[in-house]
Amino acid sequence: MMHRYACTVAYNGAGYEGWQSQTRGTSIQEKIEEILNRITEQKINIIASGRTDAGVSASAQVFMFDTDKEMSARKWMGAMNGFLPADIHIMDCREVDPVLFHARYNVRWKKYVYRINTGPYDVFTKDTAYQCPVNWMLRQ
Using CB atoms within 10 A of its CB, is residue 53 exposed (0-12), middle (13-18) or buried (19+)?
exposed
What is the tens place of the pLDDT at every residue in 1-33?
899 999 999 999 999 999 998 888 899 999 999
The pLDDT score that the predictor gives to residue 21 is: 86
pTM (predicted TM-score): 0.86
Active-site choice (53, 66, 122, 127): 53
Contact 115, 125 (CB under 8 A): yes
Told to judge if 53 belongs to the known catalytic residues of this protein, a careful annotator would answer yes
The pLDDT score that the predictor gives to residue 1 is: 87
Using CB atoms within 10 A of its CB, is residue 3 exposed (0-12), middle (13-18) or buried (19+)?
middle
Ordered by where they begin, the domains of the chain are 3-99 (3.30.70.580), 112-140 (no CATH)
